[in-house]
Structure formats: structure tokens, C-alpha cells
């Protein structure tokens, strides 16, 4: 895309964290923005705060696991603004299973796949036909993670597996779009290079009844504070990447038609090279052990 000014963006997972940061950054670029989120109250609060800043932002409560809900989001965006040029399929959850993966509830898998994978698929199916019919510039950004998109953390199988799927889905989308148009592009986003302060660790709060846990949880959910304590006890300094920095990279990546929106990271690059080397040489996956950063 040559410009974002006066264009329309839709961002899922937009009530806070990275989704909100992308929405605000798009609006400051002169875009009209639709923020979508499953949580109505945080979404309304975010939209009000954005409008107080003079930003052209509206909100629409959306459950990305539900196809009619995503269709309604598309229709609301078109009703409000008449077109959609940028779609960020950003809504994601951390699953929240406990124990070994063979002990995980099937609903832990269903929930992660419903949000992290089918949420992407629903966004593509709802918006890409509209973007092609417009015969105008457009771009789709799908949010993945180095955890899965590059190599998995064995302790988070649902999250890692679904984020790996996001990469493959986006690669296929990119290839198919290139077959039919040079106007609509696609990118896969790897936030980072460090941990982001988002609502990912509290995603259990948005778990709908359809994917409810089947038995009481035995251990507390991981929090940012608990993670910090674990890292400190292990003698590891924890670093954070501001969500605003990631949002800036997204804007630049769209304007540059950049498929891999992937920050420079010595640790991440080492993981990527170690996994590739293991595959090329048919060795067992030693890269699953932590790589010095």
C-alpha cells in the first residue's frame, strides 16, 4: 500500500494491548479504525479513550470463534465506512492448560484452535472477498508468535501449535493473493523481540461457555508477575517490548509490502537457525532447549 491516510482498518483483539496500539497507530496515520473484541466493557472504554484523543475509532463486540459474529463485524465496518483496506487478525489467547499435554482437556485445544486459528480463517473469509471486489489496495496482517512460528516452547502446546498454523495459513494466503492480484498483500506478524505487556496472560477471562473448562483448575493461572519472579529466581533478566514499537513496525511493514514483520533478535534468529539445521541434518530437536540470548 502506498498510503494509509483516509483508508479503513479493522483490528481484532482491539480492546487492549497490541490490538489497541495498532488501532491507535493506524488512526494517527489518518485511517478510520474499527476495533473488535469479545469483551464489551474494555472495548467501550478503549473506544471512548481513543475518541477523547480525536481519533476516528469505533468498536464492535466480536467473538472471532463464531462465523456469524465475524460476518457482523464486516457488515458493521462496511456500514460505517463503506470499505475495508487493512485487516489485522490479531485476537489471540494463551489457552491456559495445565500439566502435560496428554492430560490437557480437549476444550483447551478447542478454545485455542477456535480463537488462534479459526479466528484467522474467519477474518480471511469475511474480509478478503470484499477487499478483492473493491479492486483497491489492501493488506491482511495475521499475528503469530516466535513461540510456534519459529520454534515451540514444549510447555505451551496449544499456543505454539496454533501460532505455527498462523504462519502456514498466511504463507498460503500470500501465495494465492499473488496469483490473482498485485493490490492486496499479506503479512505475518511476530511481536517482540521481547515479551509484550498485553492481556495474553489473562485471556482466561474471555473464555466463553462453549469452551469452558471441564474440571476445576489445580494450579493458578500464570501472571506476568509470576513469570517475572520465575525469571528473576533463575537469574534471567526479563525485558519488554513496548506495544507501540510493534504497531510502528506493522505500519511500516504494510507500506513496504513486507511479508515477514519479524524483529531482529539474536535469540530468535538462533532458534530459527537451530531448528532449520536440525531439519536439514535429520537430527533430534535439541533446539527445544533454551538458547542463550
The CA distance from 158 to 145, in Å, is 12
Beta-bridge partner residues of 86: 9, 139
Residue 233: enclosing H or E segment and its boundaries?
Answer: helix 224-233
pLDDT at 234: 58
5 class by beta-carbon count within 10 Å (0-12 exposed, 13-18 middle, 19+ buried)? exposed
What are the pLDDT digits (tens) for 198-246? 777 677 678 888 988 888 887 777 777 776 776 576 565 778 899 999 9
Average pLDDT score, the chain: 92
pLDDT at 217: 81
Residue 180 Cα to chain centre, angstroms: 26
Higher pLDDT, 77 or 289: 77
Residue 142: enclosing H or E segment and its boundaries?
Answer: strand 138-143
Residue 86: enclosing H or E segment and its boundaries?
Answer: strand 86-89
Sign of CA dihedral 274, 292, 144, 105: positive
Cis bond before residue 193 (omega within 30° of 0)? yes
pLDDT at 95: 73
Residues 6+ apart with CB under 8 A from 157: 97, 101, 104
- 293 pLDDT tier (thresholds 50, 70, 90): very low
The CA distance from 180 to 286, in Å, is 41
Domains in the chain: boundaries: 8-262, 267-293
**The C-alpha cell that represents 138 in the structure block:** 489492501
pLDDT at 213: 87
CA distances from 20 to 24, 27, 183, 246 (A): 6, 11, 26, 11
Q: Write out the catalytic residue numbers.
A: 159
Mean pLDDT of 138-155: 94
Report helix, strand or coil for 237. coil
Instruction: Answer yes or no: are the C-beta atoms of 34 and 10 closer than 8 Å.
Output: yes
Instruction: Answer yes or no: are the C-beta atoms of 36 and 59 closer than 8 Å.
Output: yes
The CA distance from 254 to 16, in Å, is 21
Largest Cα–Cα distance of the chain, in whole Å? Answer: 56
pLDDT at 47: 98
Considering the segment(s) 8-262 as one domain, its CATH architecture is 3-Layer(aba) Sandwich (3.40)
Q: In this structure, what are the phi and psi dihedrals at residue 87, rounded to the nearest 5 degrees? A: -125, 120
Range name among 93-102, 122-131, 159-168, 174-183 with the lowest pLDDT average: 93-102
The CA distance from 275 to 260, in Å, is 18
Q: Is the pLDDT of residue 121 over 70?
A: yes
The CA distance from 46 to 145, in Å, is 24
Euclidean distance between the first and the last CA atom of the chain, given in angstroms as a whole number: 35
Beta-bridge partner residues of 187: 141
Report helix, strand or coil for 139. strand
Instruction: Answer yes or no: are the C-beta atoms of 241 and 194 closer than 8 Å.
Output: yes
Amino acid at each position: 500500500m502506498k498510503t494509509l491516510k483516509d483508508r479503513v482498518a479493522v483490528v481484532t483483539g482491539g480492546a487492549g494491548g497490541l490490538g489497541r496500539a495498532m488501532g491507535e497507530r493506524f488512526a494517527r496515520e489518518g485511517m478510520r479504525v474499527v476495533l473488535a473484541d469479545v469483551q464489551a466493557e474494555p472495548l467501550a472504554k478503549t473506544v471512548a479513550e481513543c475518541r477523547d484523543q480525536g481519533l476516528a475509532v469505533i468498536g464492535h463486540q466480536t467473538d472471532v470463534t463464531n462465523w456469524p459474529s465475524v460476518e457482523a463485524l464486516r457488515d458493521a465496518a462496511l456500514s460505517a465506512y463503506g470499505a475495508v483496506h487493512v485487516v489485522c487478525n490479531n485476537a489471540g489467547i494463551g489457552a491456559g492448560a495445565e500439566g502435560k499435554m496428554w492430560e490437557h482437556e480437549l476444550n483447551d485445544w478447542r478454545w485455542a484452535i477456535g480463537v488462534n486459528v479459526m479466528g484467522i480463517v474467519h477474518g480471511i473469509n469475511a474480509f478478503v472477498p470484499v477487499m478483492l471486489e473493491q479492486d483497491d489496495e489492501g493488506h491482511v496482517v495475521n499475528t503469530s508468535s516466535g513461540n510456534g512460528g519459529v520454534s515451540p516452547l514444549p510447555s505451551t502446546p496449544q499456543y505454539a501449535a496454533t501460532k505455527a498454523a498462523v504462519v502456514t495459513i498466511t504463507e498460503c494466503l500470500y501465495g494465492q493473493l499473488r496469483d490473482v492480484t498485485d493490490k492486496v498483500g499479506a503479512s505475518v506478524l511476530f511481536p517482540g523481540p521481547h515479551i509484550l505487556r498485553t492481556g495474553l496472560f489473562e485471556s482466561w477471562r474471555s473464555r466463553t461457555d462453549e469452551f469452558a473448562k471441564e474440571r476445576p483448575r489445580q494450579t493458578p493461572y500464570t501472571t506476568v508477575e509470576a513469570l517475572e519472579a520465575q525469571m528473576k529466581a533463575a537469574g534471567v533478566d526479563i525485558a519488554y517490548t513496548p506495544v507501540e514499537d510493534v504497531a510502528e513496525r506493522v505500519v511500516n511493514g504494510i507500506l513496504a509490502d513486507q511479508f515477514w514483520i519479524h524483529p531482529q533478535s539474536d535469540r530468535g534468529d538462533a532458534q530459527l537457525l537451530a531448528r532449520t539445521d536440525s531439519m536439514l541434518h535429520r537430527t533430534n530437536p535439541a533446539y527445544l532447549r533454551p538458547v542463550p540470548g
